[in-house]
Amino acid sequence: MQTDGAFATWTTGAPCAVKACCTLAGVVAITYRFIDCRWQLGNPPAGRELYRAGHVPGAAFLDVEADLSDPSVPDAGRHPLPPAEKFAAAAGRAGIGDGVFVVAYGSMGGAERLWWLLRHFGHADCAVMTGGIEAWGGLLESGEAEVEPREFVPRPREGDTATAEELQRRLADPGLVLVDARMPARYRGEPNEIDVIPGRIPGARNAPWSEPLPELPDGELVAYCGSGVTACVTLHRAWLAGREGRLYPGSWSEWEQRRLPAERG
């Protein structure tokens, strides 16, 4: 058991951990639910295969492509946000609901995408296990975990996303801090296998998702990437540093589809 002020946390060897929060009203138990969000761009089956090969005991799996996105939405980039009812169904199947504290882990921004979506749909009891499954110090289990479903009630937030139309209007706005979370080569617009039209949104700064968050100027933070997944890493790091930001969900894959202005170099 580890203690931290009024909190005591202890982890069992089974599916969940329980945190006892000491309040004036007494002790309130909170269930922890681990969620595996590993994935690989261009290889949709890889995430579940990795999960089945070995995951945190009791962890559920949510698929970045199928559960944390809605590819059926046309002309909105590679990973459009799922509608509330679709996300609620997936979250409920994974055992997420009121009174459940979610600990997400994954790869390539999968965990941070779930963190962002949970907050977007009103479930603030969530965290990211930074370092991914490699940071887990315990045993792993294979196969599919048996997860008791919960009811997830979406309570969508407003004001945490930006649209292509808004960004296009504000390209010259000095109060906008637009951040591109892609790797430097893609940010510079060098030819690559992912971007149909290489380049970046004019005026964007580069903050690669795989590197520490650089110092950014004051202003209204908006992050994007290739398709709205790894940009959530940037937003999570900013949030840990005490700064809120918005996500441009369509990101470069939508921007290039619309043939909107681009910079290179």
- Catalytic residue set: 225
Q: Which residue, 254, 250, 209, is CA-closest to 228?
A: 250
Which strands form 220-224's sheet, in the order they lie side by side? 205-206, 176-180, 220-224, 246-247
Letter string b/e over residues 19-28, b meaning 16 or more CB atoms within 10 A of that residue's CB = ebeeeeeeee
CA distance 48 to 46: 6
CA-based end-to-end distance of the chain: 52
224 burial type by CB count under 10 A (0-12 exposed, 13-18 middle, 19+ buried): buried
Per the CB < 8 A criterion, the answer to whether 110 and 37 are in contact is yes
With a CB cutoff of 8 Å and minimum separation 6, the contacts of 17 are 9, 10, 11, 32
Beta bridge partners of 223: 179, 247
Q: Supply 208's token pair.
A: 């690669």
Report strand pairing: 17-23 vs 26-37: antiparallel
